[in-house]
Amino acid sequence: MKNQITREEVENIAWLAHIELTEEEKKIFTEQFNKILDFFKKINEVDTEHVPPTYHVLDISNVERQDEVGESLPQTETLKNAPKKEDGFFKSPRIV
């Protein structure tokens, strides 16, 4: 396992997560991430050969229900919390 996360990697992951960082934050986050990731490596001491992962603790999977049409929120309600809207649509920034 690699020992250090670089400033460039932090920039790249922040971009993947769609979060802009200031120059100062890039520096602080890189230092903090290295300490935290070092601590995370502690789990390598545990022998997990042939141990399956636990994604969640319940013994249930694929919960299904009848595919019935229910009530939906009216358009005005749905748009109420939108910071920008126009003609009954959410207004997004330019995509293409």
Q: Which residues in this chain contact other proteins in the complex, by CB under 8 A?
A: 1, 5, 9-10, 13-21, 25, 29, 32-33, 35-37, 39-46, 48, 51-58, 60, 63, 65, 73, 77-78, 80-84, 90-95
Minimum Å distance from CB 81 to other proteins? Answer: 4
Burial class of 3 by CB neighbour count within 10 A (0 to 12, 13 to 18, 19+): exposed
* Residue 74 near residue 88 (C-beta atoms within 8 A): no
Minimum Å distance from CB 17 to other proteins? Answer: 4
Minimum Å distance from CB 7 to other proteins? Answer: 13
N-term to C-term CA, the chain: 40
